[in-house]
A = this chain, B = another copy of it.
Amino acid sequence: MGKIITDKSLSKKDKILRNAASLFRARGFTGCSMRELADSLGIEAPSLYNHIGSKGELLQHICEKVAESFTGNMKENVQQEVPVDEKLENLIRFHIRFMMEDFDALWVANHEWKHLPPLHLKTFLQQRKDYENNFTTLVKQGIEAGQLKNLDASVVTLTILSAVRGLEFWQRKSKSIPDSTIENDVIHHLLKGIMK
């Protein structure tokens, strides 16, 4: 949490990846050119290719890293022996904290994955599907155990994932809502609702 990443501690490739995530988020994968990316680093476009193989490879690295984090967290989560509602809370909290710490990369993985090279697209979609299935299984367990209401488990899963994937508060620092308020209110909302 809250690691301080100094510019100097990053390799050139890491700097390229960081700026790529930022630009792909701001302008879209197809809307951002390699020349823009090079400009953001103060070099010429052809120089990028001393560090990377292709534009698609950049997207692939960004999406892979995110997907592996979420897959790993899900794996840990299902092994824990805690009630389902606590598991769901932990999963939602992970989404929110990831968004706060690595917004660009997560946004790109959530919104630009369709531009992945075919083979990696297939892998990514499989991981995403597995993640969603694991999530839905948890919801079903909660319903069967009587902790959760009898709603459609797929619909519940996609409502929660849709909500956390689209969150963009943290950009608007101007509103100055404390991180803890965002985290706790979103979790409360998605688990217990907003009506008294």
Q: Nearest Cβ distance between residue A131 and chain B, in whole angstroms?
A: 15
Total interface residues on A, CB under 8 Å, equals 48
Bound together, the chains give a CA A155 to CA B147 distance in angstroms of 26
Interface positions of A from 149 to 186, Cβ below 8 Å from B: 149, 151-152, 154-156, 158-169, 175, 177, 181-182, 185-186
Copies of this subunit: 2
Interface positions of A from 132 to 154, Cβ below 8 Å from B: 139, 142, 146-149, 151-152, 154
User: Contacts of A194 on B, CB cut-off 8 Å?
Assistant: 139, 142, 148-149, 151, 156, 190-193
Q: A: which residues have CB within 8 A of B?
A: 26-31, 85, 111, 114-115, 139, 142, 146-149, 151-152, 154-156, 158-169, 175, 177, 181-182, 185-186, 188-196
- 14 pairs of residues in contact across A and B, judged by CB atoms under 8 Å: A147-B195, A149-B188, A149-B193, A149-B196, A152-B177, A152-B182, A155-B169, A156-B185, A159-B186, A160-B163, A189-B190, A190-B194, A191-B194, A193-B193
